[in-house]
Amino acid sequence: MDLHKITPLVIYDNQCYLCTKFARAVNFFARGKLLLVGHYTELGEKLRKEILDSSALDMFWFVDGKTAYGGRAALIPLICSIIQSKGKGNQKFEDSNTCNMECKEVKAVFVRSASLITNSKKIPINFI
Q: Which of 63, 49, 86 is nearest to 12 (CA)?
A: 63
Q: Indicate the angle between helix axes 106-118 and 72-84, nearest 10 degrees.
A: 90
pLDDT at 110: 76
> Mapping DSSP to helix (H, G, I), strand (E, B) and coil, where does residue 60 land?
coil
pTM comes to 0.82
Question: What string of pLDDT tens digits covers the 128 residues of the chain?
Answer: 677 778 789 999 898 888 888 899 999 999 888 999 999 999 999 999 988 888 888 899 999 988 999 999 999 999 999 998 775 566 666 666 555 556 667 777 777 777 777 888 999 987 54
